[in-house]
Amino acid sequence: MDANFKPRDARQVEEAVKWAAGEDQPLEIIGQGSKRALGRPVQAARFLDLSDLSGVENYEPAELILTVKAGTPIAEVEKLVEDNGQELSFEPMDYGPLFGESSGRGTIGGVLAANLSGPRRIKAGAARDHVLGMEAVSGRGEIFNSGGKVVKNVTGYDLPRALCGSYGTLAVTTTVTVKVNPRPESSATFMLSGLSEDDGIKALCAAMGSSAEVSGAAHLPAGVNGGTSNTVLRLEGFAASVDYRFNTLQSLLRDFGSATRLDEDGSKVLWRSIRDVEPFAGSDAPVWRVSVAPTAGPQLLRILQNRMSAQAYFDWSGGLVWLSSADGEIHDADIRAAVGEVGGGHATLVRAGPSVRSNAAVFQPQPGPLAALSRRLKEQFDPKGILNPGRMVSGV
Amino acid sequence: MPAPDKDVIARRQEILRALQAIVPGEGVIHDEREMRAYETDALTAYRQLPLIVVLPQTVDQVSRVLKYCYDNNVKVVPRGAGTSLSGGALPLADGVLLSMMKFNQVLDVDFANRAAVVQPGVTNLGITRAVEHEGFYYAPDPSSQIACSIGGNIAENSGGVHCLKYGLTTNNVLGLEMVLINGEVVRLGGKHLDSEGYDLLALMTGSEGLLGVVTEVTVRILQKPETARALLIGFPTSEDGGRCVADIIGAGIIPGGMEMMDKLAIHAAEDFVHAGYPRDVEALLIVELDGPEGEVDLLIGRVEEIARTNQASHLRVSESEEERMTFWAGRKAAFPAVGRISPDYLCMDGTIPRRELPRVLARMRELSVKHGLAVANVFHAGDGNLHPLILYDANKPGELDAAEAFGADILKLCVEVGGVLTGEHGVGIEKRDLMSEMFTEEDLKQQQRVKCAFDEKHLLNPGKVFPVLNSCAELGKMHVHKGKLPFPDIPRF
Ligand SMILES: Cc1cc2nc3c(=O)[nH]c(=O)nc-3n(C[C@H](O)[C@H](O)[C@H](O)COP(=O)(O)OP(=O)(O)OC[C@H]3O[C@@H](n4cnc5c(N)ncnc54)[C@H](O)[C@@H]3O)c2cc1C
């Protein structure tokens, strides 16, 4: 039966989901599918394609607010705000390079459903921190609004944030309202070379704990980065302020060596490659994204290097570890054990073939009571399990 | 409020004994005189003695108290410091009041990871106190920060002057431990960023004590900005002030704080603290710039320029820390200052799109005439969060009712112009019946489904936030339309 839906408005999404719920027909929700290789493969025979649900509903730069339909290409959204001297401060990463696909694809709905944030996460917050309101259709086929269209709001539960990172398993988002911010006038990168992992992360944490307002803090070990390691800190803002803070970092980190400065263009290229995991692009080796406390990053890598052949680099001041397994095995048990040993966090398998992702726990498994609570939430919003079944957890 | 359950009240002795077996000694309060201290929060127009007050000291005790209440269908109202302005911690005659104020320890300060782990009864300011010797602070700063607990801040998603630049509670909490109504202990997040699975931390923040009891909190701490300076700017009209705020943000400047007061508030504050505020202006704006010294000096100049182009009739820049504090003294004392000129006042809290400010202020003046009561305005201008203070005298018959009607009209106006019912004080019982102004029945149903996932028996803080308590069994039913398929009008491929 010809039944892949391509709705043009929220009412049509509602009708399609209602039908699917009535017929027990699971749906795979697709923006542009640029992140279909992320998460577990969905156990559904039909698509709900949101790419026609596109366009700006309301953009008020002076109010720092943008309302768009969920299927709007993220590239279009970024261009629009850039043209108005603004930005999405969470700096969504682009999975294209890592998955061997083209860059710049994906929709704003997909970005939020996967809660994609880049290096600026440590200063500006995650994608979820920039979401103010949503219109969505639950797995019951009920259309609803939550949140609002102003920057400060505590009316009712914060469903818009909770829908972020839920990979379309609770509701299909049809319209989103996000907060935009002024784009910094200037940026530069402060770079130290040749530091060990421990010293590199120490330098990053010292800078993050200073008043220099760092908006990117990464350490690229020698093996990943060519011959020598680089420890990099990004500064953004008014040009005079960037210069001033560069000097602050220089005196603060004097003991770690002398720094070089990457100006605007070089800095942009560098942070894009850190954001999009370019060091691990162009291969099929399994890649993990691990979030731990910043100081635990190097410790995690040390533990793992005794158990597998791992390559890694660190973003988020050491707390985001991008890890690649050289022997082609995913080593999920080793990695999750190591996360526990260094004080907790979560590990997500982001690159692996579909059959591997079907059989592994792609997302961090949860303790019993938390898993049960998450399942109850899923059952409330999608009692028939028709939205992206299996995408996050097998059988859910 | 839901009618008290007579059966539960009849079982009071039995419930008391059971709770005393879990929390020994003075941890259970049942004497009417002692319970009086808990009968209201900062929304003092409403009072209710609780069935019993319990002050647990350990997570295990919290877990056992909740499990007992769950098994025996006893309602529970969590309470922090009791500073809620929306009646969030108002007790129930047939419910246990669970005070978390014995959870008052700072457990771990981790400067390298910029995190502090604290118990929920630690005050907001207490966190800053624990980290300031290294130059750190906790950014969200409700005016009540000296008293309110971080547990209450999470439940209310509290904010303050700093939130325009540094975010609300929800943007500054990394993790928490909570106990569910069935006694299960769950941990969310930690010193790492973002969540594994659904973002339940987002749902807990601002959940007003309806989803779980917070027993431990991990917050992000920041290094204090190098410097802060403030500008005091007066305008002949509120329109000029509003335009100045928009132009500052339009210039790419996000101040550390941006607060506005109207004439009545300016005069009340000036009479009270003598901050040197001009009396011949309609709107007074305080703009604080914080950050690296080099940047602050640069931006002070830019804001001065913007103020001049917006007809500022009064402009002063703080030249010392002392002067900066003086600028703020009046704003910080605005509520008590208004308290001096009126026997009682009602503090409202709604958010509007900033561009609507002049229109909303004008409508408020009309409403003031209609209800026969004066209103003073103090607000977080940067984010459009209004705090109209409605002046009334509780001893004059009918004035409280008139004040409440006026307040409701203001909040409806906020929603009408595209804003929301509450920016930071929560819905509680105060705005509960206005929820349908902002949300449809279907919208509210989805919110209640969250409640059902956490607390299907509606035992945690019932009667708050939602105007109608739908049973979870009713909400769980699905009315599915067996499709004929194919909705000819939906494009397919
Ligand atoms: C003078 C004054 C000024 C204020 N200024 C501001 C302001 O600028 N910004 C602002 O946002 N608010 C402000 N408030 C409101 C109030 O201080 C905040 O809402 C605060 O967060 C409440 O904290 P509390 O500890 O007093 O909580 P309580 O009043 O005791 O409780 C509030 C809610 O939190 C729940 N709760 C408390 N502890 C827990 C816990 N451990 N687990 C689960 N639920 C819990 C309660 O059930 C209740 O629903 C102000 C209040 C006053 C009196």
> Residue A216 belongs to a domain with what CATH number?
3.30.70.2190
Closest CA in chain B for residue A24: B482
How far is the C-alpha of A278 from the C-alpha of A292, rounded, in Å? 21
- Reported as half-sphere exposure (CB side, CA atoms, 13 A), residue A35 has a value of 30
Q: Tell me: do A82 and A166 sit in the same domain.
A: yes
Q: Residue A314 maps to which CATH number?
A: 3.30.70.100
Tens of pLDDT, residue by residue over A56-83, are 999 999 889 999 999 999 999 999 999 9
Q: Hey, which residues does B283 pair with through a beta bridge?
A: B235, B262
Per-residue pLDDT, averaged over B220-247, amounts to 95
**The pLDDT of residue B489 is above 70:** no
* Strand pairing category for A214-220 and B227-235: unpaired
**The pLDDT of residue B286 is above 70:** yes
Domain boundary among A246, A275, A304: A275
Tokens 């991990």 belong to: B218
Tell me the CA distances in angstroms from B115 to A358, B111, B188, one per residue in order. 36, 6, 15
User: B144, B213, B379, B451: which to mutate for ligand 1, most atoms within 8 A of CB?
Assistant: B144
Nearest CA among B209, B85, B219, B196 for reference residue B150: B219
Is the Cβ–Cβ distance between A114 and A94 less than 8 Å?
A: no
B377 backbone dihedrals φ, ψ, rounded to 5°: -120, 130
Tens of pLDDT, residue by residue over A182-192, are 999 999 999 99
Tokens of B490: 């939906």
What pTM was computed for the model? 0.94
Q: Tell me: do A137 and A111 sit in the same domain.
A: yes
Amino acid (one-letter) located at B49: L
Which atom of ligand 1 has the smallest separation from the CA of B461? 47
Tokens of A375: 């399942």
How far is the C-alpha of A34 from the C-alpha of A382, rounded, in Å? 24
How far is the C-alpha of B349 from the C-alpha of A153, rounded, in Å? 10
Gyration radius from chain A CA atoms: 21
Q: What letter would DSSP give residue B4?
A: P
E strand segments, A221-355: 230-237, 260-263, 287-292, 310-315, 320-325, 345-351
pLDDT value of residue A36: 65
Is the Cβ–Cβ distance between B214 and B120 less than 8 Å?
A: yes
How far is the C-alpha of B325 from the C-alpha of B322, rounded, in Å? 5
How far is the C-alpha of A354 from the C-alpha of A375, rounded, in Å? 24
**Residues whose CB falls within 8 Å of the CB of residue B363, separated by 6 or more in sequence, listed in order:** B413
Chain A, window 291-350: residues with a beta carbon less than 8 angstroms from a chain B beta carbon: 291-296, 316, 319-320, 343-346
- Cβ–ligand 1 contact at B119 (below 6 Å): no
Place A395 in a pLDDT band, splitting at 50, 70 and 90. confident
Closest CA in chain B for residue A241: B295
**The pLDDT of residue B73 is above 80:** yes
Q: Which of A126-130, A205-209, B329-333 has the least mean pLDDT?
A: B329-333
Place A1 in a pLDDT band, splitting at 50, 70 and 90. very low
**Residues whose CB falls within 8 Å of the CB of residue B323, separated by 6 or more in sequence, listed in order:** none
Closest CA in chain A for residue B475: A380
Supply the range of the domain harboring residue A373: 1-183+365-396
Q: Tell me: do A118 and A145 sit in the same domain.
A: yes
Nearest CA among A200, A365, A366, A194 for reference residue A294: A200
The 10 Å Cβ neighbour count of residue B355 is 17
Q: Tell me: do A329 and A206 sit in the same domain.
A: no
Chain B, window 37-66: residues with a beta carbon less than 8 angstroms from a chain A beta carbon: none
pLDDT value of residue A354: 87
Chain A, window 207-236: residues with a beta carbon less than 8 angstroms from a chain B beta carbon: 208-213
Burial of A333 (0-12, 13-18, 19+ CB in 10 A): exposed
Nearest CA among B480, B488, B445 for reference residue A20: B480
Per-residue pLDDT, averaged over B237-252, amounts to 92
Chain B, window 172-191: residues with a beta carbon less than 8 angstroms from a chain A beta carbon: 180, 184-188, 190-191
Residues in chain B: 493
Q: What percent of chain B has pLDDT over 70?
A: 97
Q: Residue A133 maps to which CATH number?
A: 3.30.465.10
Tens of pLDDT, residue by residue over B75-129, are 999 999 999 999 999 999 999 999 999 999 999 999 999 999 999 999 999 999 9
Tokens 């017929």 belong to: A23
pLDDT value of residue A30: 87
Using DSSP's 3-state secondary structure scheme, residue B90 falls into coil
Tell me the CA distances in angstroms from A283 to A219, A326, A335, A361, one per residue in order. 21, 10, 20, 22
- Take atom 35 of ligand 1 and give the residue whose Cα is closest: B209
**Ligand 1 centre and the CA of B43: distance in Å?**
11
Q: Tell me: do A24 and A169 sit in the same domain.
A: yes
Is the Cβ–Cβ distance between B489 and B452 less than 8 Å?
A: no
**Residues whose CB falls within 8 Å of the CB of residue A262, separated by 6 or more in sequence, listed in order:** A188, A189, A191, A232, A270
Q: Tell me: do A177 and A320 sit in the same domain.
A: no
Chain B residues with CB under 8 Å of A363 CB are 196-197
Q: Tell me: do A35 and A143 sit in the same domain.
A: yes
Q: Tell me: do A175 and A267 sit in the same domain.
A: no
- Cβ–ligand 1 contact at B407 (below 6 Å): no
Residue, of B35 and B196, whose pLDDT is higher: B35
The angle that helices B441-454 and A368-381 make with each other, rounded to 10 degrees, is 160
pLDDT value of residue A44: 82
Q: What letter would DSSP give residue A254?
A: G
User: Sign of the CA dihedral A244, A245, A251, A257?
Assistant: negative
The 10 Å Cβ neighbour count of residue B9 is 12
- This complex has an ipTM of 0.95
A with B: how many residue pairs have Cβ under 8 Å apart?
320
Is the Cβ–Cβ distance between A44 and A27 less than 8 Å?
A: yes
**Ligand 1 centre and the CA of B208: distance in Å?**
9
How far is the C-alpha of A42 from the C-alpha of A26, rounded, in Å? 9
Tens of pLDDT, residue by residue over A322-369, are 999 999 999 999 999 999 999 999 999 999 988 899 889 999 999 999
Q: Tell me: do A11 and A146 sit in the same domain.
A: yes
**The pLDDT of residue A370 is above 50:** yes
Tell me the CA distances in angstroms from B393 to A112, B341, B403, one per residue in order. 49, 11, 9
Place B176 in a pLDDT band, splitting at 50, 70 and 90. very high
Tens of pLDDT, residue by residue over B332-345, are 888 889 989 999 99
Per-residue pLDDT, averaged over B217-240, amounts to 96
B110 backbone dihedrals φ, ψ, rounded to 5°: -125, 90
pLDDT value of residue B469: 80
A278 to chain B, any CB pair closer than 8 A? The answer is no
Burial of B409 (0-12, 13-18, 19+ CB in 10 A): middle
What DSSP string describes B274-304?
-----SS-SEEEEEEEEE-HHHHHHHHHHHH
Nearest CA among B240, B466, B297, B482 for reference residue A20: B482
Tell me the CA distances in angstroms from B93 to A280, B8, B31, B76, one per residue in order. 61, 9, 14, 11
**Residues whose CB falls within 8 Å of the CB of residue B474, separated by 6 or more in sequence, listed in order:** none
How far is the C-alpha of A208 from the C-alpha of A231, rounded, in Å? 13
Chain A residues with CB under 8 Å of B244 CB are none
Domain count, chain A: 3
**Ligand 1 centre and the CA of B82: distance in Å?**
6
Gyration radius from chain B CA atoms: 24
Strand A214-220: give its sheet, edge to edge: A260-263, A186-193, A230-237, A214-220, A310-315, A320-325, A287-292, A345-351
Residue, of A394 and B43, whose pLDDT is higher: B43
Q: Tell me: do A52 and A117 sit in the same domain.
A: yes
**Ligand 1 centre and the CA of B314: distance in Å?**
36
**The pLDDT of residue A37 is above 60:** yes
What is the tally of helices (H) and strands (E) in chain B? 19, 19
Q: Tell me: do A303 and A255 sit in the same domain.
A: no
Q: Distance from first CA to last CA of chain B, Å, rounded?
A: 52
Chain A residues with CB under 8 Å of B113 CB are 205, 293-295, 319
Domain boundary among A275, A309, A342: A275
User: B79, B102, B157: which to mutate for ligand 1, most atoms within 8 A of CB?
Assistant: B79
Domain boundary among A275, A309, A334: A275
Quick check: A383 and B478 CB within 8 A?
A: yes
Which H helix or E strand runs over B125? helix B124-131
Amino acid (one-letter) located at A322: W
**The pLDDT of residue B289 is above 90:** yes
pLDDT value of residue A3: 65
A379 to chain B, any CB pair closer than 8 A? The answer is yes
Tens of pLDDT, residue by residue over A226-252, are 889 999 999 999 999 999 999 999 999
A11 to chain B, any CB pair closer than 8 A? The answer is no
Per-residue pLDDT, averaged over B210-216, amounts to 98
Tens of pLDDT, residue by residue over B351-373, are 999 989 889 999 999 999 999 99
Per-chain mean pLDDT for chain B: 94
Burial of B391 (0-12, 13-18, 19+ CB in 10 A): buried
Q: Tell me: do A315 and A373 sit in the same domain.
A: no
